[in-house]
Amino acid sequence: MRIDLHTHSTVSDGTCAPAELVVAAAKAGLDVVALTDHDTTAGWAPAAAALPYGVTLLPGVELSCRWHGSGSASTGIGLHLLGYLFDPAYPPLVAEMDRVRESRERRAERMIELLKADGVDVSWPEVRALANGATVGRPHIAQALVRLGLVDSVNAAFQSEWLGARYRVPKQDIDVFDGLRLLREAGGVVVFAHPKANRRGRTVPDEFIVELAAAGLFGLEGDHPDHDPAEREHVRRLGAELGLVVTGSSDFHGGNKTVRLGECTTAREAYEQIVAAGRGAPIVSPIMD
């Protein structure tokens, strides 16, 4: 079985609509695809409605979280939690996702102000139109910079000072222990996304992952395009030590990133453990008629 447990659609910062994504998953030879947009479950219904024969949808989310316990910097360390099979209507979780999406909009406006102050001709209405109702992220601002011819690609915008440092404004993330608790209260299964991906910024120490495991974390994402072989092996060993499931996934973002669907995959046993533990929503298989 080919199983990819982390993908994004146009309801956040991917470039395939949810319905296109599940069709692309079938074409890529996947048996299972999880839809894990940033801070929203808006893609679940359109993805489920378009599910082609042979593909199972694992409904999920990628929550923008922050760990404040690092001691050093007062701002803490940003990190992402993947939640699967939770109740998407659980009010306290819905409220937190609404809050963080709202904060992403204010933050995008602020980043655009900083760009404009330096003479870059971007506007909030333009970026909002590029996002088209989705969870606004830096990739949308990057798209605007590509349009202006200031960078060649979204990836180049991240590699350069544009979005990496100079114009980067923090968003009001969810406290990581709150995020974990809310997903679990909603019946969900929680996997720590790309825990060692230090190309994205500072990563957390293993001692904190031990704390998360004690608080009910279910798994760690090991095989991820942003992890090198040593990091993947480290995550596998840590997962085995802590009794956590270890997953693999592409973190597909369509044309906003260069990774392909199914570039990294999850073992069937790990997937089945996740499905057995999820209580807030069912997996979705296509209706045959």
Complex with ligand AMP: residue 168 or 236, whichever CB lies closer: 168
> Which is it for the CA torsion 202, 203, 205, 210, positive or negative?
positive
Complex with ligand AMP: residue 228 or 233, whichever CB lies closer: 228
> Residue 252 is which amino acid?
F
Complex with ligand AMP: residue 146 or 242, whichever CB lies closer: 146
Q: Is 155 in the site for ligand AMP (CB under 6 A)?
A: yes
Which tokens go with 18?
């949810």
Owner of token pair 């929203």: 40
- Residues 193-232 binding Fe ion (CB under 5 A) are 193
Q: Which of 19, 48, 253, 278 lies at the binding interface for ligand AMP (CB under 6 A)?
A: 253
Q: Is 154 in the site for ligand AMP (CB under 6 A)?
A: yes
Q: Which does 83 bind (CB under 5 to 8 A by kind): ligand AMP, Zn ion, Fe ion, none?
A: none
> Residue 97 is which amino acid?
M
- Residues 247-266 binding Zn ion (CB under 5 A) are 251
Q: Is 254 in the site for ligand AMP (CB under 6 A)?
A: no
Q: Is 82 in the site for Fe ion (CB under 5 A)?
A: no
Q: Which of 83, 137, 179, 222 lies at the binding interface for ligand AMP (CB under 6 A)?
A: 137
Determine the Cα–Cα distance for residues 62 and 250; give it in Å rounded to an integer: 13
Sort strands 56-67 and 77-84 into parallel, antiparallel or unpaired: antiparallel
* Residues linked to residue 56 through DSSP beta bridges, in sequence order: 32
Q: Is 256 in the site for ligand AMP (CB under 6 A)?
A: yes
Complex with ligand AMP: residue 260 or 268, whichever CB lies closer: 260
Q: Quick check: helix, strand or coil at residue 193?
A: coil
Q: Is 257 in the site for ligand AMP (CB under 6 A)?
A: yes
Determine the Cα–Cα distance for residues 251 and 249; give it in Å rounded to an integer: 6
Determine the Cα–Cα distance for residues 287 and 229; give it in Å rounded to an integer: 39
Determine the Cα–Cα distance for residues 160 and 199; give it in Å rounded to an integer: 13
Q: Which of 44, 84, 158, 192 lies at the binding interface for ligand AMP (CB under 6 A)?
A: 158
Q: Which of 181, 231, 225 is nearest to 203 (CA)?
A: 231
Which tokens go with 44?
């679940």
Sort strands 189-192 and 77-84 into parallel, antiparallel or unpaired: antiparallel
Complex with ligand AMP: residue 134 or 213, whichever CB lies closer: 134
Complex with Fe ion: residue 154 or 186, whichever CB lies closer: 154
Residue 62 · residue 6 · CB < 8 Å: yes
- Residues 62-81 binding Zn ion (CB under 5 A) are 62
Q: Is 140 in the site for Fe ion (CB under 5 A)?
A: no
Q: Is 249 in the site for ligand AMP (CB under 6 A)?
A: no
Q: Is 13 in the site for ligand AMP (CB under 6 A)?
A: yes
Buried b (16+ CB within 10 A) or exposed e, 90-112: beebeebbeebbebbbebbeebb
- Residues 168-197 binding Fe ion (CB under 5 A) are 193
CB of 141 to ligand AMP, least distance (A): 8
Complex with ligand AMP: residue 38 or 232, whichever CB lies closer: 38
Residues binding Fe ion (CB under 5 A): 13, 80, 193
Q: Which residues bind Zn ion (CB under 5 A)?
A: 62, 251
